[in-house]
Structure 1
Amino acid sequence: MTIIIAILSFKLLLFQGVCTFILLSRLARGARRIPPLTPKLPYLALIGKVSVIIPTLNECDRISPLLESITRQSYETREIIFVDSNSTDGTQEKIENYSKKDPRIHLITDPPLPKNWVGRPWALHNGFLNSSENSEWILGVDADTIPHKNLVATVLDFAIQQDYDLVSFSPQFILKSMGEWWLQPSLLMTLLFRFESSGVNTNNPSTIMANGQCFLIKRNILTEINGYTYAANSFCDDVTLARYVASLGYKVGFADGSKIIKVRMYEGLQDTWQGWGRSLDLKDASSKLQLWGECLFLLLIQALPLPLFFLCLFFYPHFDFLSFKLLFALNTFLVIIRFALLGAIASSYQFNKSISELTFILSPFADILAVTRIILSAFTKPSQWRGRVYE
């Protein structure tokens, strides 16, 4: 039995050691990342450069904060196009009421969803087709976000200064229940472990991250690639499109927008599990080899360290061979890193001194669940989303 455990310990130590080296190299690059964007005031050179496109589908109960914020954007915003997919809850009426106050707001209804399209990229595609040719940039924004009043000026100035052709921004998340505070940070950590963090540039298109909640791209690029057609059937259309554009040689970036845009995505633990897990595996933007390599990586480097730490701690008095002790040391190190990373992602959350927020500290204990969700999602393709049913 001791020999078997020694062999297993050595093999596990070897695989985890390689994954730890990869993780540390990514974290080292993250330490030198571009800091979070701070709001910038608009200036005359930005006048009329951006068309904002916002897809909607039954958003009546949560779209008011967006409407209040997006209509406060300054003169760099040429138009605000809401592309509604036949909402039945009063969403269109609410948008129309705001259009009476702000002539930049245009409400259109997208045509019936084609068989080979997912709803979100279809809405964005139709928004692009209906946008002004005088706009140099297209900014996609989700209906559940709360933009800063200078969001458009800030992201546009950043893209110009950094010479990006496409750049998207990570938001600050608004969580409420204890279940959300426990599970969601663990799901977010799966992205941090697999890819470069926001604010880190990468030359490898296959590892580029993107966020469709705030997604800025040059209009001429969308014209060249026929709008959002390349990401038509992708449930992670933002990452799919960003990686494709990067593969064409354009400069693509992913920055920290936690100070300029907030989002309340899901309600409660179950909604977080279903919603975040829907496309977090990013299989629509990855090869099968990359997908399963990432799943194995997460299993070894995020899911197993905490259970292995307690298991090795329990059996430590009974085994004194080197591979077991090194395995215990390595997983202790990984657990320390995991808890330390809570500080690194803390700025991605809006804290209000609620008792529910205490479970944020316990989120590493949800890592097994988070990685399991990624693996389950990797096996399946969503059959329905936001009221739509897909074959």
Structure 2
Amino acid sequence: MPWFAEIISSITFIAWLFLLLCRGLYWRMDDRLTATVADDLCGPSKWPKVCAVVPARNEAAVLPETLPSLLLQDYPGEFQIILVDDHSEDETSDVARAIAQTFRRADRLQIVKAHPLPNGWAGKVWAMQNGLRHVPADAEYILFTDADIRHPASSLSSLVRHARKRRRDAVSLMVRLHVKSKWETLLIPAFVYFFAKLYPFRWVANDKRKTAAAAGGCILVRRELVQSEEGLTPIAGAVIDDCSLAKLIQSRGGRLWLGLGDDVMSVRRYATLAEIWDMVARTAFVQLNYSVWLLIGTVIGMILLYLAPIVTGIAGVCLALSGYTGWIWTGILGLAAWCIMSCTFVPILRWYQLSPWRAIALPAAGFLYTLMTADSAIRFWQRRAGAWKGRPYEIP
């Protein structure tokens, strides 16, 4: 039925043309924050006091790679770090304390123990809430950063400069995730690409839009927007804590900015497909608000966007070359959609210093992420709660 295939290929081509031109130019990936860019901005005449809150659960293995980068920040103003030990079953607190003493920065680090997790609270949000209780009232900014994030020495100065210059109340960075293994190479750039398409960075920074998003690895926010009487209570049960926090900040009148952090890196490694699969399956169905209809729509949309162009493009061209001329436009439109898809993926590949030719494999990543999303729903229906660091998520 060439007419039906031509309709499908037309839909996918129009969809990719729309995404290319009308989705906030999400694919450009030029909203970045680097030390070089920050140096061009005017530094504040008086550097505000900043307090970092680091939720940490069973992070003894990664802290030697990351905690020194926070302790050795060259920030000109007052800077304090509160590491919240979230009921770790390893030596997280002892390792952190030893690192601070080794680098002679014990005065900069405060280690607090999280209170027992109450019903209705997600573990990381509760750890952040515990950290907020120890933030001094004279701090102007709070830096929420994960324990697996390694910062350059100028990271905090760059964030504060950017927030002041752009008049933003919250500045968040999508850090450079670890990409070494074959599965990381295939799936991690695609993860950032899908996130940017869902939450275009330009739209997040546009005060006329309601798009609210953040990347949980690095969020600088004005203290008064999160340290209040209710604190983080409105997002207590949020599994996807970063975007929920961004929405909370926006609801309280905060102005957001989200971009790529060239020099800020995650040391968390995902060597196998199973590790990445579990990471996505834990939260994918949560992102869809546990909606069956959104799940169905997502699966259909992913098939049309990422699989249909290949099938219609290759099949249409092969059939046209075999003498079935009615398939020529099916093949052309399918290949055109595949071409647009690949071109929009190239900027994020370049950011990860990967070959642009890897863009042709984006449909394979899209197919795997579709399966992960479906598996996330199946786990929910089977009452198999996801878990992080050995602590199961609550299933509503």
Shorter-chain TM band: 0.7 to 0.9
More displaced stretch, 379-388 vs 288-297:
288-297
Q: How far 1:283 sits from its partner (Å)?
A: 1.6
- Relative to structure 1, the CA distance from residue 246 to residue 43 in structure 2 (aligned partners, 3 Å threshold; closer, same or farther) is closer
Over 3 Å counting, the alpha-carbon distance change for 1:94 and 1:328 in structure 2 is same
- Residue 81 of structure 1 aligns to a residue whose secondary structure is strand
1:240 paired with 2:241, answer no
Q: Which moved more, 1:82-91 or 1:40-49?
A: 40-49
1:124 correspondence with 2:112: no
- 1:7 and 2:10 are equivalent in the alignment: no
Partner of 1:320: 325
**Whole-angstrom distance in 1 between the partners of 2:288 and 2:239:** 7
Bigger drift between 334-343 and 160-169 goes to 334-343
Which residue of 2 is the match for residue 79 of structure 1?
80
**Does residue 270 of structure 2 align to residue 267 of structure 1?**
yes
State the distance in 1 between where 2:27 and 2:270 align. Answer: 32
1:20 aligns with 2:16: yes
Aligned-residue offset at 1:23: 0.7
Question: Helix, strand or coil: the match of 2:157?
Answer: helix
Structure 1 segment 326-365 matched on structure 2, within 5 A: 326-349=329-352, 362-365=361-364
- 1:99–1:106 Cα contact (<8 Å) kept: no
Question: Residue 190 of structure 1 aligns to a residue in which SS?
Answer: helix
Match of 1:29 in 2: 25
Select between 137-146 and 291-300 the one with higher mean Cα deviation: 291-300
Identity level (%):
23
Change (3 A) 1:300 1:76: farther
- Inter-partner Cα distance in structure 2 for 1:198 and 1:156: 19
User: How far does the alpha carbon of each residue in 1:278-326 deviate from its partner, in whole angstroms, 9 at most, with x for none?
Assistant: 32566277988767655543332234323333333333346433xx544
* Offset at residue 370 of structure 1 (A): 1.8
**Equivalent pairs, count:** 380
Distance 1:189 1:117 in 2: 30
**Correspondence 1:216 to 2:220:** yes
- Provide the residue aligned with 2:98 in structure 1: 97
Structure-1 separation of matches of 2:162 and 2:13 = 38
Counterpart AA for 1:385: W
Q: Decide which moves more: 235-244 or 31-40.
A: 31-40
- d(CA) in 2 for partners of 1:45, 1:301: 50
Once the two structures are TM-superposed, the CA of residue 13 in structure 1 deviates from its matched residue by 4.1
Residues 118 and 234 in structure 1, CA contact (< 8 A), matched pair in contact too: yes
| 1:76–1:331 CA distance, 2 compared to 1 (3 A) | farther
Counterpart of 2:142 in structure 1 is 138
**Structure 1: any 5+ residue segments left out of the alignment?**
none
**2:158 is matched with which residue?**
154
Task: Please list the CA deviations of residues 53-112 of structure 1 after superposition, one character each: whole Å capped at 9, or x if unmatched.
Answer: 111111111111211100111243521000011222211111111343211100001011
Q: Is the 8 A contact 1:175 1:350 kept in 2?
A: no
RMSD between aligned residues: 3.2
Distance 1:28 1:390, change over 3 A: closer
Whether the aligned pair in 1 keeps the contact of 2:26 and 2:197 (CA below 8 Å) is no
1:84, 1:92 within 8 Å by CA — same for their partners in 2?
yes
Task: Tell me the distance in 2 between the aligned counterparts of 1:7 and 1:15.
Answer: 11
- Partner-residue secondary structure (3-state), 1:266: coil
3-state SS of paired residue (1:299): helix
Letter in 2 for 1:331: G
Go from structure 1 to structure 2 and tell me whether the alpha carbon gap of 1:185 and 1:133 turns closer, same or farther (over 3 Å shift): same
Among residues 169, 172, 178, which one is paired with 1:174 in the alignment?
178
Structure 1 pair 179–153 and aligned structure 2 pair: CA distance change class (3 A)? same
Deviation, 1:221, is 1.0
Q: Which amino acid aligns with 2:318?
A: F
Residue 339 and residue 225 in structure 1: after superposition, are their counterparts in 2 closer, same or farther (change >3 A)?
A: farther
Runs of at least 5 residues in structure 2 that lack an aligned partner in the other structure? none
- Higher mean displacement: 21-30 or 94-103: 21-30
Q: Structure 1 CA distance, aligned partners of 2:290 and 2:95? A: 38
State the TM-score, normalized to the length of structure 2.
Answer: 0.84
AA in 1 matched with 2:376: S
